[in-house]
Amino acid sequence: MGSRSAADIGIASPPAGNGLIGLAFEDSDDVIRSAIDEASVPALLMSMIHMTGDLTLFEELPHPFMLIAMDLQGAMSEADKKTVRERAFDVVRSYRDRGCPPPFVPNPEQMRVMLDVMSAGQVTEEYLDYIAADLRFSDADQCGPVLRSSPEQRSEFPVVVVGCGEAGILAGIKLKHAGVPFTIVERQSGAGGTWRANRYPGCRVDIANQYYSYSFEPTDHWSHYYSEQPEILKYLNDVMTKHDIAPHVLFNTAVVGAKWDDESATWRVGTRSAGGAEETLTARALICAVGQFSNAVIPDIQGVNRFGGPSFHTANWRDDVDLTDKRIAVIGAGASGFQLVPAIADITARVEVYQRTPQWMAPNVSYHEAIGAGAKWAIRHLPYYGRWLRFVSWWPLTDAAVERVTIDPDWDTGGKSCSASNHELREALIAWMQAFTDDEELLAKVTPDYPPMGKRTLQDNGTWLKTLQRDDVELINDRIAEITCDGVTTADGVHRPIDVLVWATGFDVNHQLGPLNIQGLGGLELNTAWGDSPYAYLGITVPGFPNFFCMYGPGTNAVNGTSIIYNSECQMRYITGCIDMVLAAGAASAMPRAEVCSDYDRRNQEWLKTMVYTHPAVVSYYQNSAGTVPTLYGGRIVDYWKWTNRPNPDDYKLRYADVSLELEH
Ligand code: NAP
H or E stretch covering 633: none
- The CB of 291 under 6 Å from ligand 1? The reply is no
Cα of 25 from ligand 1 centre, angstroms: 45
pLDDT score recorded for residue 573: 96
Please give the number of the atom of ligand 1 that sits closest to the Cα of 456: 32
450 lines ligand 1 (CB under 6 A): no
Using pLDDT thresholds of 50, 70 and 90, give the confidence band for residue 15.
very low
Which pLDDT value is given to residue 657?
A: 74
DSSP E strands in 209-301: the ranges are 249-250, 253-261, 266-273, 278-283, 285-288
User: In terms of Cα–Cα distance, which of 505, 507, 480, 512 is closest to 494?
Assistant: 480
Could you identify the atom of ligand 1 that is nearest to the CA of residue 337? 25
Helix (H) or strand (E) holding 58: helix 57-60
Q: 195-199, 349-353, 627-631, 661-665: lowest mean pLDDT where? A: 661-665
Question: For residue 569, is pLDDT > 50?
Answer: yes
- Does residue 658 register a pLDDT over 70? no
Q: How close is the Cα of 297 to the center of ligand 1, in Å?
A: 10
Question: DSSP for 276-321?
Answer: --EEEEEESEEEE---SS-SB-----TTTTT-SS-EEEGGG--TTS
Ligand 1: which residue has its CA nearest to atom 31?
335
pLDDT band at 228 (very low <50, low <70, confident <90, very high): very high
Does 540 contact ligand 1 (Cβ within 6 A)? no
Pocket test for ligand 1, best of 209, 228, 505, 556 (most atoms within 8 A of CB): 505
SS3 labels along 575-611: HHHHHHHHHHCCCCEEEECHHHHHHHHHHHHHHHHCE
Residue 607 Cβ inside 6 Å of ligand 1? The answer reads no
Window from 260-264, 286-290, 396-400, 516-520 with minimum mean pLDDT:
396-400
| pLDDT above 60 (res 2) | no
Strand 311-313 and strand 495-497: the pairing is unpaired
pLDDT at residue 9 tops 90 = no
Atom in ligand 1 nearest the alpha carbon of residue 505: 7
Rounded mean pLDDT, 172-176:
97
Helix axes 385-394, 108-118, angle to 10 degrees: 60
Position 390: which residue type? R
H or E stretch at 45 = helix 41-52
Q: Between the CA of residue 321 and those of 120, 255, 501, what are the distances in Å?
A: 51, 30, 11
Residue closest by Cα to atom 11 of ligand 1? 356
- Percent residues over pLDDT 90 in the chain: 91
CA distance 373 to 305: 49
CB of 560 within 8 A of CB of 602?
A: no
Q: Which residues pair with 488 in a beta bridge?
A: 483, 496
Q: pLDDT, tens digit, for every residue of 189-221?
A: 999 999 999 999 999 999 999 999 999 999 999
Please check the confidence at residue 662 and state whether its pLDDT lies above 50. Answer: no
Q: How far is the CA of 325 from the centre of ligand 1 (A)?
A: 26
User: Per-residue pLDDT averaged across 356-383, rounded?
Assistant: 96
Return the best residue to mutate from 199, 211, 300, 336 for the ligand 1 pocket (most ligand atoms within 8 A of CB).
Answer: 336
CA of 359 to the centre of ligand 1 (A): 9
pLDDT at position 561, please? 77
SS3 341: helix
Percent of the chain at pLDDT exceeding 70: 95
Give the range among 119-133, 230-244, 318-332 with minimum mean pLDDT.
119-133
Mean per-residue pLDDT for 440-449?
A: 97
Which ligand 1 atom is the nearest neighbour of the CA of 559?
34
Query: What's the average model confidence in pLDDT over 565-593?
Result: 97
Q: What is the pLDDT of residue 143?
A: 67
621 lines ligand 1 (CB under 6 A): yes
- Mean pLDDT (the chain) is 94
Question: Which tens digit of pLDDT belongs to each residue from 594-627?
Answer: 999 999 999 999 999 999 999 999 999 999 999 9
